Structures are given as structure tokens and as C-alpha cells.
Amino acid sequence: MFLKKLSLINYKNFSSENFEFDNKINCFVGQNGIGKTNVLDAIYHLSFGKSYFNPIATQNIKHGEDFFVIEGNFEKNDREEKIVCSLKKGAKKIIKKNSKAYDKLSDHIGFLPLVIISPSDRDLITEGSDTRRKFIDGVISQSDKGYLQTLLKYNKILSQRNSLLKYFTANQTFDKTTLSVYNEQLDGYGTEIFNKRVAFLETFIPIFKEQYKVISGDSENISLVYDSKLLNDSLLNLFDKNIDKDRALQYTSVGIHKDDLNFNLGEYPIKKFGSQGQQKSFLIALKLAQFHFIKAQANTNPILLLDDIFDKLDENRVSHIISLVNDENFGQLFISDTHADRTEAVIKTIHQSYKMFKLGS
Ligand SMILES: Nc1ncnc2c1ncn2[C@@H]1O[C@H](COP(=O)(O)OP(=O)(O)OP(=O)(O)O)[C@@H](O)[C@H]1O
Ligand SMILES: [Mg+2]
């Protein structure tokens, strides 16, 4: 699968811009703030229906304008697929595949498998558990349509249960029957999510370890461990055990919405004890593992976006990653960097077709 053409209207700093891409490697170069990452984000948008960087949809519209349009022409399994993602202020976002709008944006997820590696991935190590849940959820939902639907249903009931807990406090009342209706539903959806997360990690963790070894040339004792209360107890039991706490907090303190992934080096968290380089290798391994996992599930090469490649990697590691493109293993690659020369020097070494886009000139 690859992206042949991209056109942007009023997307972030671009008023109107058209690109025609190489099937293999495309590099965006230019000075800081010129829009390199924005182009990668537009491509991400076509795959996931949202920005990787700015979750507030309207902030992706160019300042002073009231809509954006991103259009991509893909070739997938020898078929042309035109995807258009557009947003007008005050209206819902629309994604169209071959001129037909999706009823639900979530139905589009997984159609264009894609992995992004960016400096902001460090949030996965430094930030709270929600970033890591989003990561797992994102990977699983690219290959499992039902997963995202179940998760959305779980979240909807969860917020109803939280409202009920608030209502109990506000009205100094308690109604066990109504609460248990929500508990039952959450137990159903939550257990399904939990089982899928367990099954996913069983496959994913070995791939991750292998990638870490390849990148760091090292078999340091790294681990990635699923952390969930559901590993030891059923969700219904957990709700019962935590009812006093939940009533005091006025929200649901246990469930799959509290799951986490622990990243360790030996016995210690990589966040506190890993060196910068170890953390970078860890993140790249995580993303390359995502790439291989999605590839196996989708049976096609995902598009790979490498934002600011030299931020995370020294030249050896960049060469290593770029050389992977030489294999049949990788599909289309988009790279951004401030220095045209150093990028082109690395790309040239692998004798693949490539195209350089010098932004701002
Ligand atoms: N909604 C928006 N409207 C107009 N401009 C925007 C909008 N959102 C972001 N920008 C602009 O986009 C530019 C940043 O673009 P981008 O992050 O793609 O730069 P870059 O080329 O990747 O730079 P760097 O090399 O520093 O990573 C900034 O100048 C910012 O002001
Ligand atoms: Mg950038």
C-alpha cells in the first residue's frame, strides 16, 4: 500500500499544497517551523481521522480560516482509493472513502495501516497511564474492528456510572439495583477488552523484545508488563470491593480504564533509571514492534512516518532503520529532518527510489 498524492487546503500552516510521492521513500526537509511535521500529521489524519499531535480538532484548521480539507490518493491491493478528511468549524468531521462518507469515523480505522515514530513518543514513557492505554488501544483497533466499538461502549457506560455516583452524593441516596445494572454491563465489555489486551500483549511482547535487541545490539534485560487489577480478580468482584471508595470519590476507581503498561530495565522503571539512549531505543523498538504486528495482521506493509529521525537516533541507527526499507519488509516511508544533506546522504546508501521535498523554498 502506498500514498501517491496528497493535497492540503487550510491544514495548519498550509493554505494550499499538493504533493506527488515516491512509492518508497519521501523526505521533507527545511528549517524549524516550516511544516514538515504538519505534512506527516496530515498523512496520519487520513489513516486515523485525527491529528497525532493536536487532539483539539479545530486547532488543525489554519488560523483565520474555518475549514480544512486533506485529500489522499492511495494504491492498496492494486486498487485506487481516494480518502478525504475534512472539518468545518461547528460541524462534525467527515471522512470519505471514494466519495462516500463513513457513518462512523471509527469504521475507517485500520483501512490504511500506519505507524508514526516521533519525538513526542517520549510521552509514552514520561506521561500518565492514559498515553500507554491509548497506544495499546490504537494498535489493537487497527486490526480488530470490534475492539474500538466495545471500548466506546465501555466508556459510555462508565461515564453513566460516574454520573450516578455523583447523583448519589448530591441527593444523599444510594440505589444498589441501578448501580448493579451498570456493573453488569461494564463487566461484560470490560472483560472482553481485558482478554483482548492480554492476548495482544502475548503476541506483541516477544516482537518488541526482538526489535529492542536488533536496534540496541544488546540483550539488556528489558521488559514490558501488563498491569491490570483484572489479572487477579473479576471486574464484578472489584466493583463490590471498591464500592465505598467509589462512593467517596464519586467516580469508578477500578476497571480497564485504569490499566497500565510497565516499562522496565531489569527490575527498575525505565522512566527513572534508563539512560536517554536506552529510552530512545525502547521507544523505537515499541514502534517497530507495532509496525511488525500490524503488518502481520493486515497482511500489508503499513506506511511508516519517521518524524525528526535524527532526534531519536544517531547516524548508525538511522542507517539501520533506513536499510530495513530495502527489505521487502517495509513499504512506503516518509521522513522529516532539518538537514537535507545528512538525510540524502543516508538515503543514497541504500539505492532505493526516493524523493526530496524542500519545504519553504
Ligand atoms: N492551525 C494552525 N494555523 C496556522 N499555522 C499553524 C497551525 N498549527 C500549527 N501551525 C504552524 O505550523 C508550524 C509548525 O510546523 P511543524 O511542526 O510542521 O514544523 P517543522 O517543520 O516540523 O519544524 P521542526 O523542525 O521544528 O520540527 C508553526 O509555525 C506553527 O505556527
Ligand atoms: Mg517537526
Instruction: Compute the distance between CA of residue 174 and CA of residue 93 in angstroms, rounded to an integer.
Output: 40
Decide which of 261, 279, 299 is a domain's last residue: 299
CA 201, chain centre distance (Å): 16
- Say yes or no: 284 and 172 in one domain: yes
Tell me the per-residue pLDDT of 239-260, one tens digit each, with 9 for 90 and over: 999 999 999 999 999 999 999 9
Predicted local distance difference test score (pLDDT) of residue 89: 97
Ligand 1 center to residue 119 CA distance, Å?
Answer: 15
Instruction: Using pLDDT thresholds of 50, 70 and 90, give the confidence band for residue 99.
Output: very high
The residue-averaged pLDDT of 131-138 equals 95
| Residues constituting the chain | 361
CATH of the domain at 167: 1.20.1050.90
Instruction: Using pLDDT thresholds of 50, 70 and 90, give the confidence band for residue 25.
Output: very high
Residues with CB under 6 A from ligand 1: 12-13, 30, 32-38, 59-63, 308, 336, 338
Instruction: Compute the distance between CA of residue 131 and CA of residue 171 in angstroms, rounded to an integer.
Output: 35
CATH of the domain at 76: 3.40.50.300
136-149 per-residue burial string, b: 16 or more CB within 10 A, e: under 16: bbbbbbbbbeebbe
User: Please, are residues 57 and 50 in contact by the beta-carbon 8 Å criterion?
Assistant: yes
> 103 exposed, middle or buried (CB, 10 Å; 0-12, 13-18, 19+)?
exposed
Ligand 2 center to residue 361 CA distance, Å?
Answer: 17
- Say yes or no: 72 and 206 in one domain: no
Tell me the per-residue pLDDT of 316-348, one tens digit each, with 9 for 90 and over: 677 767 766 666 667 899 999 999 998 898 888
Task: Look up the domain containing 289 and give its range.
Answer: 122-299
**Mean pLDDT of the residues in the chain:** 92
Ligand 1 center to residue 58 CA distance, Å?
Answer: 15
Instruction: Compute the distance between CA of residue 47 and CA of residue 49 in angstroms, rounded to an integer.
Output: 6
Nearest residue by C-alpha to atom 12 in ligand 1: 13
Predicted local distance difference test score (pLDDT) of residue 311: 73
State what percent of residues in the chain have pLDDT above 90: 76
- Say yes or no: 101 and 233 in one domain: no
User: Please, are residues 54 and 61 in contact by the beta-carbon 8 Å criterion?
Assistant: no
Tell me: pLDDT of 124 over 80: yes
The grid coordinates listed for 203 are 503476541
Q: Mutation test of ligand 1: which of 13, 62, 337 has the most ligand atoms closer than 8 Å to its C-beta?
A: 13
If one compares 318 and 230, the residue with the highest pLDDT of the two is: 230
Indicate the number of domains in the chain.
2
Tell me: pLDDT of 18 over 90: yes
- Say yes or no: 191 and 206 in one domain: yes
If one compares 277 and 253, the residue with the highest pLDDT of the two is: 253
- Say yes or no: 294 and 304 in one domain: no
For the chain, strand residue ranges (E) read: 2-11, 14-20, 25-29, 67-76, 79-88, 94-97, 100-101, 114-117, 222-227, 260-265, 268-269, 303-306, 333-337, 354-358
